[in-house]
């Protein structure tokens, strides 16, 4: 009786995933409901209206179909969201620049982290979905393998490699989910937050007033600063445990 049907996105669920249906793209005559088209359209919609207003009805309409048809291809909304997240992991390599096989591990790690960060900030409204799942889909697995491989090849013992990967991963997710992303499409601007800090009582908030002008900085710069801290910490960790 502990053999309940696994939740979408859980390890057991991924394990029992049937291989992707053979004809991913439908026949020439009818542009029906292919796996990829559904997931791409879902990502598109979440980008447009956000995860809250994204609905099965909306997705069905955009696909020119009905919700019941959607439910014949996917178990439910959760399952679609899980696939959207993994689809996003598949996009990361497109943003990987300036990293070659003989780069230092620091450059490789930084480059991969920035690629993942850029992918997530390109789809900021999807990033918050990462809070609810440990990404175990095929694309996520492939990315994890590459990152861990870099660390192990650089001399990190397995445990340190695992922890370094986790630390960087959580750092990225914490950053990418936060408001203040790339576009003016954000809820409220840095300018507004800065004005808010400036309006605070100088007697009660001296430190906030001093640091306020720098607080909502370029998200890219802030991200790189913290990432550099982690890499520096890792360098020291590696040399100390040779």
Partner DNA sequence: ACCTGAACACCGTTCAAGT
- Shortest reach from residue 25's CB to a second copy, in Å: 26
Among DNA, a second copy, none, residue 23 binds (CB under 5-8 Å by kind) = none
Q: With CB under 7 A as the rule, give the number of residues binding DNA.
A: 18
CA distance 63 to 70: 9
Q: What angle do CA 107, 111, 115 make, to 5 degrees?
A: 175
Residue (49 or 134) nearer to a second copy, CB = 134
**Site membership for DNA, residue 129 (CB under 7 A):** no
Whether the Cβ atoms of residue 121 and residue 176 lie closer than 8 Å to each other: yes
**Site membership for DNA, residue 225 (CB under 7 A):** no
Among a second copy, DNA, none, residue 55 binds (CB under 5-8 Å by kind) = DNA
- Interacting stretch for DNA, rule CB under 7 A, among 75-83, 92-100, 122-130, 226-234? 75-83
Residue (22 or 101) nearer to DNA, CB = 22
Among 7, 142, 146, 12, which residue's Cα sits nearest to residue 82?
Answer: 7
Concatenating the DSSP letter of every residue in 85-151 gives HHHHHHHGGGG--S--TTS-HHHHHHHHHHHHHHHHHHSHHHHGGGGG----SHHHHHHHHHHHHHH
- Shortest reach from residue 210's CB to a second copy, in Å: 5
Residue (77 or 194) nearer to DNA, CB = 77
CA distance 96 to 92: 7
CA distance 193 to 196: 5
Among a second copy, DNA, none, residue 66 binds (CB under 5-8 Å by kind) = DNA
CB atoms inside a 10 Å sphere around CB 215: 13
Among DNA, a second copy, none, residue 67 binds (CB under 5-8 Å by kind) = DNA
Q: Which of 40, 57, 182, 237 binds DNA (CB under 7 A)?
A: 57
Burial status of residue 186 (CB atoms within 10 A of its CB: 0-12, 13-18, 19 or more): middle
Residue (13 or 35) nearer to a second copy, CB = 13
Among a second copy, DNA, none, residue 131 binds (CB under 5-8 Å by kind) = a second copy
- Shortest reach from residue 13's CB to DNA, in Å: 14
Q: Which of 13, 35, 44, 65 binds DNA (CB under 7 A)?
A: 65
CA distance 210 to 215: 10
Q: Which of 56, 141, 146, 162 binds DNA (CB under 7 A)?
A: 56
């Amino acid at each position: 009786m502990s053999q309940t049907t696994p939740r979408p996105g859980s390890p057991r669920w991924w394990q029992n995933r049937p291989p992707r249906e053979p004809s991913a793209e439908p026949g020439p005559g009818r542009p029906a409901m292919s796996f990829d088209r559904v997931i791409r359209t879902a990502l598109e919609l979440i980008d447009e209206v956000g995860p809250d207003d994204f609905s099965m009805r909306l997705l069905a309409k955009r696909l020119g179909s009905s919700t019941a048809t959607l439910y014949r291809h996917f178990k439910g909304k959760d399952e679609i969201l899980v696939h959207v997240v993994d689809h996003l992991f598949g996009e990361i390599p497109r943003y990987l620049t300036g990293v070659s096989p003989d780069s230092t591990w620091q450059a490789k790690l930084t480059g991969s982290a920035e690629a993942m960060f850029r992918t997530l900030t390109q789809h900021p409204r999807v990033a918050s979905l990462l809070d609810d799942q440990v990404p175990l889909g095929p694309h996520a697995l492939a990315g994890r393998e590459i990152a861990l491989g870099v660390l192990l090849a650089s001399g990190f013992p397995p445990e340190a490699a695992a922890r370094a990967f986790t630390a960087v991963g959580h750092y990225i997710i914490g950053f990418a989910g936060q408001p203040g992303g790339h576009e003016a499409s954000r809820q409220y601007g840095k300018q507004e937050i800065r004005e808010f800090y400036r309006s605070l009582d100088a007697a009660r908030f001296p430190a906030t007033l001093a640091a306020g002008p720098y607080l909502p900085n370029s998200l890219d710069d802030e991200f790189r600063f913290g990432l550099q801290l982690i890499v520096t910490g890792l360098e020291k960790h590696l040399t100390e445990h040779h």
